[in-house]
Amino acid sequence: MVTRETLERVVQALSPDIPVPPEDWEAIVPQVRRMLEAVRTLDELPLDEVEPASLYELER
């Protein structure tokens, strides 16, 4: 579950050199939830045999 506490632990564990200003947490927590919800919609796609797109494909 996405809470301020869990997100703070992630920040401390992975990138303590970029602290989150205390005043930002109120906005960040719901934004993280919305972001992850949006990304989870991609689970509905049939991606089994699909390779990632690359930066340069349209050039061919």
Partner 1 sequence: MWGDPMNDLHWLGVMDLAGAIAAKKLSPVEVVSAHLARIGALDDRLRSYLAVFADTALAAARAAEVAVTAGRPLGPLHGVPVAVKDLYAVKGSPTTGGSRFLKEPAPADCTVVARLRAAGAIILGKLNLHEFAYGPEGINLHYGTSWNPWDATTHRMPGGSSSGAGVAVAAGLAPMGMGSDTGGSIRIPAACCGTVGLKPTYGRVSRAGVLPLSWSLDHAGPLTRSVADAAVTLAAIAGRDPADPSSAARPVPDYVAGLAGPVRGLRVGLLREYVEGSDPEVQAAVGAAAKALEDLGCRVEEVAIPAARYAPGASTAILAAEATAYHEPLLRRHAAEYAPDVRRRLLVGRFLTATDYVRGQRARRLIRDDAEAVLRRVDCLLAPTLPIPAPPLTATEVRIGGRTESPRVALTAFTRLFNLTGHPVVALPCGFSREGLPLSLQLVGRAFDEETILRLAHAYEGATEWHRRRPPAA
The single residue listed with the structure tokens 């061919």 is: 60
AA identity, residue 9: R
Q: Is 58 in the site for partner 1 (CB under 8 A)?
A: yes
Question: Are the CB atoms for 7 and 32 separated by under 8 Å?
Answer: yes
Q: Which is nearer to partner 1, 1 or 44 (CB)?
A: 44
Q: Is 36 in the site for partner 1 (CB under 8 A)?
A: yes
Q: Report DSSP state, residue 18.
A: S
Q: Residue numbers of the site for partner 1 (CB under 8 A)?
A: 7, 10-11, 14-15, 17-21, 23-24, 27-28, 31-32, 35-36, 38-47, 50-56, 58-59
